A and B are shown apart, each in its own frame.
Chain A
Amino acid sequence: MRSASAKRQGLDEERLDEGIERYADSPNFSASEKLALRYAELMATDPDAIDGAFYDALRAHYSDAEIVELGAFIGFNIGYHTFFGTLKFYPLFSPDGRLVGQEESARLYGSAPASLSGAGVG
């Protein structure tokens, strides 16, 4: 699934993949964006690394209100994506906008969501 609003603002698949897989060394993300992406990654994989120094680094780029907005959004997504993954449902529309059945959608989007590959917060 993709946000139509984000697409209209210029987010494409290439930038999305780069933001997920290669953001740390990418010249296409600002220091602020890299830090927010790191915040999300660590909350899911290594929350102990999000310490006082990390929050100080966040404050150099974001207000406390923005950090709370980010943190709650990330937590919400960590919680829900794993639950959704267990329900085995897939997007109603194909990437080219066709209404598709669940079997075809599973073939298109994969039968093993990435959220199921982890083992939760360590």
Chain B
Amino acid sequence: MSHIAPLAPEEIADPELRALIAEAEALGVPDALFPRILARVPDHAKVLMRALLMSHAEGNVDHRLKEIIRIQLARSAGDPYFAALRSARARRAGLTDAEIEAGCGNYETADCLNAAEKCALRYADHMYRAPWAVDAAMYAELKQHYSEAQIMELGAFIAFHYGMQTFMRTLVAKPLAG
């Protein structure tokens, strides 16, 4: 059981928050546990859930790449909850477990990842393990593969998801599906 108990579904009356929870459940990330914990502060929950869903599932960076990065970050943050969840949309788009494992492991030598994907994975990997290595040279390399808008989308996605994963790690939460 999480250190902070989630609200029961029937305790969440706000229709906007209920819709966001349904949207997250359809995506698979997060399952209903995270928003039901956040629902203890409903206004915060709505803003955080909108940001979580938008940063992961919308924008101009491939959702499959973001899904690999999200799992890589969750493992780096030591958060079993977000690390265990999988995006149904990324799976429908063809993302395989083998590609996830390649992206979370030795991605630099993985044949199934292209140079742009490896660069994004390195950006996320270094952001919290070796932030000093995310320097002007790395941004110059990112600009060879991505627009500045895409780099901002990636950076904000990485920062937001890592932050929420770090919080969830301390709650010792596990996915609802076990």
Contact = CB atoms under 8 A, between A and B. Distances in A.
B159 A79 contact: yes
A68 B165 CA distance: 13
A74 interface: yes
B131 A120 contact: yes
B167 A80 contact: no
A contact patch SS: helix
A36 to B, nearest CB: 14
A42 to B, nearest CB: 8
B8 to A, nearest CB: 13
Q: Helix, strand, loop or mixed for chain B's interface?
A: helix
Interface in A50-83: 50, 52, 55, 64-65, 67-69, 71-72, 74-80, 82-83
Contacts of B77: 120-121
Q: How large is the interface on B (under 10, 10 to 19, 20 to 34, 35 or more residues)?
A: 35 or more
Contacts of A120: 76-77, 127-129, 131
Contacts of B166: 43-44, 47, 75, 78-79, 121
Interface of B: 3-5, 37-38, 40-41, 44, 48, 76-78, 127-132, 134-136, 139, 155-156, 158-172
